[in-house]
Structure 1
Amino acid sequence: MTDGPGPADIKPSPRRSARQRLAFVMIAGLLAIIGALAAGYYFAMRPVTLRIAVGPANSDDIKVVQALAQAFHNQQHSQVRLRLVPTDGAPASAQTLADGKADLAIIRGDLDVPKNAQAVATLRKNIVVIWVPPAAKGKGKKAAKITKIAQLAGHKIGVVGRTPANVNLLKMILQQYGVDPLKVDIVQFPANEAVEAIRNQKADAYLAAGPANSKITIDAIAASTRDGGAPTFLAIDASEAIAQNHPAYEAAEIPAGSLGAADRPDDEVKTISFSHHIVARKSISDSTIAAFTRQLFSIRQSLKTDFPLAAKIETPDTDKDATILVHPGAAAFVDGEEKTFLDRYSDYIWWSLMALSAMGSAGAWFAGALKQDERNTNSSQRERLLEMLRTARHSDSTDELDQMQAEADDILRDTLVCFEHGAIEQGTLTAFNIALEQFHNAVADRKALLMSMPQNLQRTATQFRAAGTA
């Protein structure tokens, strides 16, 4: 009997290598799909940083946005964070957004809106206040008292703030009342110089535009009070007509006593208002803007103690004829139609599962094909084993018997591999073992017979068999 093959002589079966490669490909594909889903979830849920253009420096707007940015950063599970892009004011912020250098911007609704901008929220509403200081006592002939906007022709009007937008606003109001702006001397005072200019009587009347409780406006009006006299507030009676002709403005009223004292004004005064908006670029994804809008309104109330203006943030106008069209993401939040993670990515998840199912079906088909190939090969090997059994019973050479036994060992190894892979069943393996046992018995009996025969008889039997086959 010869020794079986050693460990170094055993080579992997080609069928087993193919199965291993298939298993590796299936596992790699499964891990790739799981990794893609995990990566998609990570990128979908990671915080997105949006650049927001706001100005000017030290203004209430920039202070509110700074507070929002800090609150967003501190909020757990925040999906959006803010990075400030300081500008010189609302017009510069609008241009920054138009140039693509910001994702969000604080703009004035009565100025040109960038074509790539859509509304996200109304940051605040502003009212226009026009007033005339009381005449100073003891200074020559008493000037005619101004009580109506139409009487401003020929007078000097001071505009609080450096922005040209307020000057254009004044001109628009004057034109509505038939006053030629060229017949009016308009001078601007920076907000930090307005109080001193008003005390020094630098103009006959003043205009300020800002929030109803603006400290700048209230301080400017307070500076107009002199010698116990109260300023006269000029009503914009044509507010409805202005709003009709200029959609960026709305008719409004200044409540009595809302400007720093009970007699400021002493009765309601008609005026116009306009809004500062938070706008976003159209290209920003709906889900990102929806998340920003949700976070904005969730922390709005928590900031009102330190920043009263934050409590005045309102949802945008979602009407199709709105002055500034609303961003679809903000509209989804306002209308309660914001999509969840599954809503947004259900198609991707479904296709991933379909791909996984297809891979499983393909793997099962390949596995079945490999098993069929192994079954066919095993059937051929069983036939070869039975053929070797018949040959062994008549063999006259121990070398031939040794070769057949080595081949039988290879067949046994392949059969066991087939059984491990499920290509053959227990009954088939039992039948194979019976045939293998018969073969080994036949080899052992034939070798014992050949060993007991004299050498000359072995040669004669071999020659006789060779002659018979010839």
Structure 2
Amino acid sequence: MKLSLKRLFARSMAGGPDLAYSTIPSPRSSRSVKRRLAFVTLAGLMAVLGIAAAAYYFAVRPVILKVAVGPANSDDLRVVQTLAQAFNNQRNNQIRLRPLPTEGAIASAQALADGKADLAIIRGDLDVPKNAQAVATLRKNVAVLWVPPTTKAKGKKTPPKITRIAQLAGHRIGVIGRTQANVNLLKVILKQYGVDPNKVEIVQFPANEAAEAIRNQRADAYIAAGPVNSKITTDAILASSRDGGTPTILALDLAEAIAQNHPAYEASDIPAGSFGSVPEEEVKTIGFAHHIVARKGLPESTVAAFTRQLFSIRQALKNEFPLAAKIETPDTDKDATLPAHPGAAAFVDGEEKTFLDRYSDFIWWGLMAFSAMGSAGAWFAGYLKKDDRNNNSSLRDRLLDMIAAARKSESTDELDQLQSEADDILRETLQCFEHGAIEEGALIAFNIALEQFHNAVADRRTLLVSLPQYLQRTAQLRATGTI
């Protein structure tokens, strides 16, 4: 049963007009305490809601990923720019892309290794950064090695026709593109066929100057690397046609051996008619991939979201940008040459985690932390009220001492002083009760002591009033120390 303060201290408040007025708790003080309690509760609730809102915002806000890609005006850069625009046009996408142009695949790989980019477009036959993991295969490339048709110059013997790679020794070979990677690719092929790269003259042509250089017969054979339907390769092969003759694409019969010795390459085929009317039948060659890779430390959920968006939008861009249709999922096998990022592998294997799967541990530990904080807060609040409880105990002890003092009092003035002090003790006790520093049991014990004090004061006051006038005067003088 809830304790009634009015009933508990009814007698105290009936001790006279001064006593009644002094022992009634202040309504203003009570309202102030309630307002403070309501304010603290509201502030705590708003803090919890603020933390929850901030956590939700950071969990669902779009993440901007920087993609290192190059060189300028390349198909790779155009693909990334197209994807970035498509991602930005969809409101609910969690991922946004920011292209970071570089000088080429080597520079893109270095940007990823240095932590300047989150994603990068790299060639699979180059040195892959240690912190790179595959997200998707942007496209498959093939090596095309061909010889222009021979023409007979006036007054000169017709040079022997080159039909095999082993016959390239002592000839000039033109490499389409300025990247050193294509030169390295040519050297790998030559070494596999026993041709010393130092025994051939290698000349590189920029992609935009290749057709003109081929028309001017600046080399005896040429090599290009790119997709099967590459416009650069097609234009270069068509420029090799002379006097109605068609170029000859040299087959790499040892493609499997090259792939075995160099895991970055794989055996591939060039379908008949891939470059106009060339080749007349399917030709063996080697190929390699351009990969979209992510930093190893990139969160799994972020990479999974990017992979999901990438493949959901790929078909939508097929008509507008055909190269986007060539994007493929990465190899998720454990022994893959380029390991897949766990986020991409989770999407490909259908094991992508939901919001609760990703954050259930955090939610659980958060609830545990809030519970622990609540317990700690309760203990701390009790600890802060320890002084109030100790003070209230000393006040109760003081009230008991005042009972003895009241029974020995020699004047009504001394009783009035004791009564005034009791009023102050009562006021502090009621405030401690309102603040929760003491419980109802302690308040009942205090009431018993207060009631005994009032009885002692009332009895002593009655006794002093009944004494003759001269005895009262003597008692007052004795009390003041005059006699």
User: After superposition, where does 1:37-436 map in structure 2 within 5 Å?
Assistant: 42-43=57-58, 45-136=60-151, 142-259=158-275, 261=276, 263-367=277-381, 381=395, 385=399, 388=402, 392=406, 395-422=409-436
Say which SS state the counterpart of residue 456 (structure 1) adopts: helix
Q: Which stretch of the first structure deviates more once superposed, 287-296 or 267-276?
A: 287-296
> Which amino acid in 2 is paired with 1:252?
S
C-alpha distance 139-166 of structure 1, shift in aligned 2 (>3 A): farther
Match of 1:313, as an amino acid?
I
Q: Distance in 2 between matches of 1:189 and 1:458?
A: 129
Distance between the aligned counterparts of 1:428 and 1:188, measured in 2? Answer: 97
Identity %: 73
Q: Structure 1's 430 and 300: CA in aligned 2 closer, same or farther, altered over 3 A?
A: same
SS at match of 2:178: coil
Q: Secondary structure, in 3 states, of the residue corresponding to 2:238?
A: helix
User: 1:30·1:356 contact (CA, 8 Å) conserved in 2?
Assistant: no
Question: CA shift at 1:385, angstroms?
Answer: 4.8
How far does the alpha carbon of each residue in 1:311-365 deviate from its partner, in whole angstroms, 9 at most, with x for none? 2122222333322233344334333444445444544444433332223223334
Q: Secondary structure at the residue paired with 1:192?
A: helix
Structure 1 residues 10-57: Cα deviation after superposition (integer angstroms, max 9, x where no partner)? xx9xxx99xx99x97x99999878766665555455444333322111
8 A Cα contact 1:123 1:277, kept in partner: yes
* Letter of the 1:53 counterpart: A
Which one-letter code corresponds to 1:84 in the other structure? Answer: P
Q: For 2:179 and 2:387, how far apart are their aligned partners in 1?
A: 84
Give the whole-Å Cα distance in 1 for the aligned partners of 2:214 and 2:279: 18
Contact 1:316 1:326 in 2 (8 A): yes
Does the aligned pair in 1 maintain the 2:72–2:101 contact within 8 Å?
yes
Count of residue correspondences? 458
Distance in 2 separating the partners of 1:373 and 1:86: 68
Q: Distance in 2 between matches of 1:223 and 1:391?
A: 123
CA distance in 2, matches of 1:375, 1:240: 88
Shift of residue 160, structure 1, vs aligned partner: 1.7
**C-alpha spacing 1:459/1:114, structure 2 compared with 1 (3 Å):** same
Note the C-alpha offset of 1:424. 5.8
Q: Which moved more, 1:55-64 or 1:201-210?
A: 201-210
Deviates more, 1:116-125 or 1:289-298: 289-298
- CA distances 1:210-231 after superposition (whole Å, capped 9, x unpaired): 0111111122222233444433
Question: Quick check: 342-351 or 119-128, which moved more?
Answer: 342-351
| 2:266–2:288 contact (8 Å) kept in structure 1 | yes
Aligned-pair CA distance for 1:169: 1.7
Q: What amino acid is aligned across from residue 315 of structure 2 in structure 1?
A: Q
**TM-superposed deviation, 1:375:** 6.5
Structure 1 residue 433, shift from structure 2 partner: 6.0
Local SS of the residue matching 1:49: strand
Change (3 A) 1:316 1:405: same
Contact preservation (8 Å) 1:137, 1:227: no
Distance 1:452 1:159 in 2: 130
Cα distance in 2 for residues equivalent to 1:364 and 1:299: 54
Change (3 A) 1:51 1:423: closer
Residues 1:276 and 1:398: Cα distance change in structure 2 (over 3 Å)? same
1:109 Cα offset (Å):
1.3
Shift in CA distance, 142/461, structure 1 to aligned 2, threshold 3 Å: closer
Name the aligned partner's letter for residue 199 of structure 1: R
TM-score, structure 1 normalization = 0.79
- Tell me, in whole angstroms, the C-alpha distance in 1 between the residues paired with 2:379 and 2:42: 16
Offset of 1:129 from its aligned partner? 1.6
SS in 2 for 1:193: helix
Distance of 1:466 and 1:186 partners within structure 2? 124
AA aligned to 1:274 is: F
Q: Structure 1 386/78 Cα, relative in aligned 2: closer, same or farther at 3 Å? A: same
Q: Deviations over 1:395-438 (max 9, x none)?
A: 44232122122122123223323442456666875786687578
Alignment CA distance shift 1:251-1:397 (3 Å): same
Residue 6 of structure 2 corresponds to which residue in structure 1? none
Q: CA RMSD in A?
A: 4.3
Cα distance, 1:103 vs structure 2: 3.3
Helix, strand or coil for the counterpart of 2:207? coil
Q: Secondary structure at the match of 2:183?
A: helix
Alpha-carbon displacement from aligned partner over 1:67-123 (angstroms, at most 9, x marks no partner):
223333344354443333322221232233334443332221112223333333221
1:435 and 1:48 map into 2 onto residues whose CA distance is 69
Q: Hey, what does 2:11 align to over in structure 1?
A: none
**Residue 264 of structure 1: CA displacement?**
2.6
User: Conserved in 1, the CA contact under 8 Å of 2:143 and 2:226?
Assistant: yes
Structure 2 gaps of 5+ residues are 1-16
CA distance in 2 between counterparts of 1:258 and 1:370 reads: 84
Deviation of 1:63 after TM superposition, in Å, equals: 0.9
- Which structure 1 segments of 5+ residues have no match? none
Q: 1: CA distance between counterparts of 2:114 and 2:394? A: 76
